[in-house]
Amino acid sequence: MSPRSTGISGMHRHSGFSLIVVLLLLVVVSVLGIGAAQLSLVNELGARNDRDVEIAFQAAEAALIDAELDVLGPNTNGASRLCAFNNKDVTPFVAGCGGPGAQQGLCALAEVGAIPAWMKADLSPESRTSVVYGTFTGQQYATGRGAMPAAPPRYVIEVMRSNGGWEANSLQSASARNSTNIFRVTAMGFGVRKETQVVLQTNLYKPRVSTGCP
């Protein structure tokens, strides 16, 4: 009887050891599975963020193009304000970037050493001073559906003193009588989430007034 008892006891020990090995393998497999799932979620989140930034970037670029039409034309929209952009007369540009009406989004020249107007401008979707895409050109930008921006892009236009000629091999006189101005456009585009924002800038030079302007 004793040998049989010893054999049965050995079988129990082997069975217990196998059970521990199986449990350890299950734990390892579970940890690997959880890690793979988390990595997949992180990759998906990164892809969504990249797409969101790209949507915001494209919206900001569209706003720059809209601002270019606003400043330089051609713009036959009834709300056109081409005559407001004159490289000599900067009267329409006011402190605080204006408000509702033809002066909306037009930022006066900042004092030397002061914070540039674009850094203080309100470009949020709720802003009443920055220009919503298409306000003065009649263009439209689709928003709020699927992979579309949560809000239309916006921009402000800041007048700046020109420090040099914009023509090849030409220098500009530094005298007050001959000084001219350029227009710095700052545009903000939004992603699918309003929190995703991209800011782009460009400088526009308008050598002469638009047709029909005094």
Residue 94 lies in a domain: yes
pLDDT bin (cut points 50, 70, 90) of residue 1 is very low
Residue 134 lies in a domain: yes
The per-residue pLDDT for 2 is: 47
The per-residue pLDDT for 7 is: 56
Residue 5 lies in a domain: no
The per-residue pLDDT for 143 is: 93
Question: Residues 105-118: pLDDT tens digits?
Answer: 999 988 878 899 99
Question: Residues 45-72: pLDDT tens digits?
Answer: 767 788 999 999 999 999 999 999 999 9
Residue 163 near residue 65, CB atoms below 8 Å: no
pLDDT-above-90 percentage for the chain? 51
Q: Which of 67, 101, 93 shows the shortest CA–CA distance to 159? A: 93
Q: Which of 52, 43, 51, 44 shows the shortest CA–CA distance to 196? A: 52
Residue 48 lies in a domain: yes
Angstrom distance (rounded) from CA 72 to CA 66: 10
Residue 24 lies in a domain: no
Residue 160 near residue 108, CB atoms below 8 Å: no
Name the 3-class secondary structure at 162.
coil
The per-residue pLDDT for 163 is: 67
What is the residue range of 70's domain?
43-204
Residue 210 lies in a domain: no
Name the 3-class secondary structure at 85.
coil
Residue 113 lies in a domain: yes
Residue 4 lies in a domain: no
The per-residue pLDDT for 26 is: 85
Count of domains observed in the chain: 1
Question: Residues 117-137: pLDDT tens digits?
Answer: 999 999 999 999 999 999 999
